[in-house]
Chains A and B, each alone.
Chain A
C-alpha cells in the first residue's frame, strides 16, 4: 500500500515537471515582454523592472530559478501589482482567493458525491420507476446545460424574482451566500455520478456472483452491502478523478457568475492585465491539485479493487 502510494507519487513528478516546463517556455518564448503595453517607461525604469523580474538573465537561468522558487512554494511576483508576491494574492490571510475556490470545490464534492451515489443506487434498484427516469433525464439535461447557463438563471429565479437568497457576493462566506453557488455546482456534477452509479449497480446485480448469493438465500441487505457495494463503486471512483479538475474549473466559472472573490477574479484580472506570472501560477496550482487528486483517486481505487494489488 505504502509502496504503491510512493510509486504513484514518484511517477507524477515528471508529469508535473513537464507541465511546468511547457507553461514556462510557452510564456517566455512568446515574442514581446509584458511591459510592452505599459505607458512609455524610461529606459532606467524598464531596466530595473527587467532586473526585478529576472528578464535580463539568460532563459535557462530564469527557468532554473523559477523551478527553485516553486520548490520552495513561491510562485514569484505579480506583474500587475508590481512587487506584490503572488503567494499573498493567491492565499490571502482574509480567506479570499484560492481558499474561496477550494471551499466551493470541497463543499461540492462532499455533497455531490454521496448524493449522486445514493440517488443512482436507488434509481438502479428501482429501475423504470419515476425516480429512475428523473435521474436519467437530469443527467441528460445537466450534462448538456452548463453552470454558466444554470447559474444566472437560478439567480434570476431565486434572488431577483423570489428574493429568497442574495444574488451574489461572498458575505462572510455564510450559508445564504454560499447556498446558490454550491447548489448550482452540485446540480452540474451529481447527476453524472448518479447516472454512472445507476448503470454500475444494474450491471453488478445482473452478475453471476450476485445470483449465486441470492440462490444461497442471503438476505438482500447482506448481498447489497457485502457483495455489491465494492464493484458498484469502482466505476464511480474512476469517474471522480477527471471530475475534480472539472469541479475546480467549474467553481472558478461559478465564482464569476456569483461575483465571489476567488481564483476567478484573479484569473480575469491577470488575463486583462497580461499578468503572465499570475496566470502561470494559477495554471500550475490547478495542475498540482489535479495531480494530487488523481493520486488520491488511484489509491482509493486500489483499496476497493484487490485485483490491482500485485
Chain B
C-alpha cells in the first residue's frame, strides 16, 4: 500500500524554535532594530500626515511661493506654493506603495521561477536559466523605459514593468537554494511517499527558502524605491500633481537655489535606504549565524 503524505505531519518539528531564536538574535541587534523602527515610523507618518494635515498636498498658494522652512511650513513650500512636508509624506506613501507592491511581485515570480527550475532540473532548468541569462544581457533601465513607453505611462504599469524585469536575481538565488534542498532526506521521503511535485515545491522547498527570501526582500524594497525614483528623472512613472520622492528630488535638483526642495526629500530617502540596508544586514546575521 502506498502511504499518502496527508496522513503525516511533515512540517519540521523544530521550526518554531528556529524562528524564535532568529527573532531573539535580531532583537539583540540594536542597529537593525532601530532601522526597523525608523521604517515603521516613516511609513506611519506617510500614512497619517497627509490625512491630518490641514493643507492638501496639491493646494497651490500663490502668496506663499518658495518659502524657506518656517513655523507654518516646516519643510518650506515649492514653486507653486504647495506645502513641502505634506508633499514629502504623500510622495513617500506612493514611493512605499510602489516599492512594496513591486517587491511582492518580484518575490512571487522569482521564488516560483527559481524553485521550479531548480526542483525540476535537467532540460527545463537549462532553458529557464538560459532565459534569465538573456534577460540579464539587457541593461534593465532601458528595458524598463521601453516597456513604459509601449504600455503607457501610468503608475500601475510602471510598477508592473519594474517588477517584470527585477525578479532575475531572486530566481537565481532561489534556484541555487532549491538545488541544495532537493537532495535533503525529507524531500526524498516525501517523494517516495507519493507527494506530487507541486506540493513538494509549495510545502517543503519554498518554506525552507524563507530565510533567503526574507533577507532578499529587505534588499528588494530599497532597490525598487531607487528604481522608481530613477524613472522619475526620465519623466516616467508618477506624474503631477501626485508626487513621489523621486519626483520631488528631480524637482529639487532643478530648483537648487531653494535648498529645502532637495534636502528634505533626499534626506528622507537616504534615511529610508540606509535603514533598509541595516535591517537586511541584521536579518542576514540573525538567520545565518555562522
Query: A148 touching B262 by the CB < 8 A rule?
Result: no
Of A30, A268, A290, the contact of B234 (CB 8 Å cutoff):
A268
Interface status of A46 (Cβ within 8 A of chain B): no
User: A257, B148: Cβ atoms under 8 Å?
Assistant: no
Interface size class of A (residues with CB under 8 A): 35 or more
**Would you call B3 an interface residue if the criterion is a C-beta within 8 Å of the partner chain's C-beta atoms?**
no
B256-A19 in contact (CB<8A)? no
State which of B137, B143, B256 has its C-beta within 8 Å of the C-beta of A15: B137
Q: How far is the CA of A136 from the CA of B134 in the complex (A)?
A: 33
Q: Hey, what's the 0/1 contact readout for A141-168 against B, CB within 8 Å counting as 1?
A: 1011110110111011001110000010
Stretch at the interface among A119-127, A174-182, A216-224, A244-252: A244-252
B39 within 8 A of A: no
Chain A hits for B281, CB < 8 A: 140
CA distance A226 to B281 in the complex (A): 35
Q: Does B145 contact A (CB under 8 A)?
A: yes
Structural contact, B137 and A276, CB atoms closer than 8 A: no
Query: Which of B151, B256, B274 has the most C-beta atoms of chain A within 10 angstroms of its own C-beta?
Result: B256
Residues of A259-310 whose CB lies within 8 A of B: 264, 267-268, 270-272, 274, 276, 279-280, 282-283, 286-287, 290-291, 294
* Pairwise interchain contact B234-A283, C-beta atoms closer than 8 A: no
Residues on A with beta carbons closer than 8 Å to the beta carbon of B234 = 256, 264, 267-268, 271
Residue interface bits A95-118, CB-to-B below 8 A is 1, else 0: 000000000000000000000000
Chain B 191-229, CB-CB to A under 8 Å as 1, else 0, gives: 000000000000000000000000000000010001001
Asked if B249 is at the interface (CB within 8 A of a chain A CB), the reply is yes
Are A22 and B134 closer than 8 Å at their CB atoms?
Answer: yes
Q: Which 5 pairs of residues, A with B, have the shortest CB-CB distance?
A: A286-B139, A152-B253, A144-B277, A283-B142, A144-B273
List 25 interface pairs A-B (beta carbons < 8 Å), by A numbering: A15-B134, A15-B137, A141-B274, A144-B270, A144-B274, A144-B276, A145-B269, A145-B273, A146-B226, A146-B229, A152-B249, A153-B262, A156-B259, A249-B142, A253-B233, A256-B234, A270-B145, A271-B149, A271-B235, A283-B138, A283-B146, A286-B138, A287-B137, A291-B137, A294-B137
| B residues lining the A interface (CB < 8 Å) | 133-134, 136-143, 145-151, 222, 226, 229-230, 233-236, 246, 249, 252-253, 256-257, 259, 262-263, 266, 269-270, 273-274, 276-278, 281
